Amino acid sequence: DAMVIQNPRYQVTQFGKPVTLSCSQTLNHNVMYWYQQKSSQAPKLLFHYYDKDFNNEADTPDNFQSRRPNTSFCFLDIRSPGLGDAAMYLCATSRGTGAPGYTFGSGTRLTVV
Amino acid sequence: SQQGEEDPQALSIQEGENATMNCSYKTSINNLQWYRQNSGRGLVHLILIRSNEREKHSGRLRVTLDTSKKSSSLLITASRAADTASYFCATDHSGNTPLVFGKGTRLSVIA
């Protein structure tokens, strides 16, 4: 089945230690998104790629970076995780930003200790 | 902020009852979508309603949209315990910008 896969499901990292979350898709969608979701809150868009074009949200901290080496993969790098970065990180894809229905991965739960 | 606001924040009902969740938004939209999220999982797309539509059905789901009031409602009829989840509305404001999600309604269906 075509899908969006996030690895790992759970990630524990130390305060200040760089961490990378990964997302892959078999849907061949043009757009890939990273959302951050804290407990009982709305998913908040960090950035998205339309093909190779990177689009950063204005309020996304510089601590967060992303890479999309090819259509299938997208990575979220957190350079120096703080306690406030503990959250669920959700990857999603769509054919276009205005295309109906995003497909989400199962998420990576990040814990910072 | 363009973020939608759902109400109620939490809803608890008995199995077999209907569940209604509401979403309000602030700026004009191209379409509005509803998503479901089981605890600790990703979101699943349920239904989309375009700005020129007033009502849409999909199985036990009924969505309405009132663009004059900038609001939408999601009705789940004959609820089941398996419907227990959080439900989010998401708005597409221009057709070429990413979705903006609301804070969600946590639905608990008690068997």
Please answer yes or no on whether B45 and A97 come within 8 Å at the CB atom: no
* Mean pLDDT in residue range A94-108: 88
Residue B55 CA: distances (Å) to CA of A76, B4, B51, B75: 38, 19, 10, 11
d(CA A67, CA B65): 37
Nearest to A106 among B42, B48, B88 (CB): B42
Query: How much is the pLDDT for B57?
Result: 96
Nearest to B74 by CA among B35, B31, B29: B35
Query: How much is the pLDDT for A23?
Result: 98
d(CA A68, CA A19): 16
B26 touches chain A (CB under 8 A): no
pLDDT tens for A43-89 read 999 999 999 999 999 899 999 999 999 999 999 999 999 999 999 99
φ, ψ for residue B87, nearest 5 deg: -120, 130
Interface of B with A in 45-104 (CB under 8 A): 45, 48, 88, 92, 94-104
Kindly report the nearest CA distance between residue A80 and chain B, in angstroms: 24
d(CA A108, CA A88): 6
Nearest CA in chain B to A43: B101
Q: Is the pLDDT of residue B1 over 60?
A: no
d(CA A46, CA A112): 19
d(CA A26, CA B66): 36
DSSP collapsed to 3 states, B77-110? CCCCHHHCEEEEEEEECCCCCCCEECCCEEEEEE
Query: How much is the pLDDT for B6?
Result: 80
Q: Among all chains, which residue has been given the structure tokens 């699943």?
A: B44
With a CB cutoff of 8 Å and minimum separation 6, the contacts of B51 are B28, B29, B30, B31, B32, B65, B67
Residue A21: CB atoms within 10 A of its CB come to 22
Please say whether the beta carbons of B58 and B77 come within 8 A: no
Please say whether the beta carbons of A85 and A75 come within 8 A: no
pLDDT tens for B59-111 read 999 999 999 999 999 999 999 999 999 999 999 887 678 999 998 999 999 99
For residue A4, name the pLDDT band (cuts at 50, 70, 90): very high
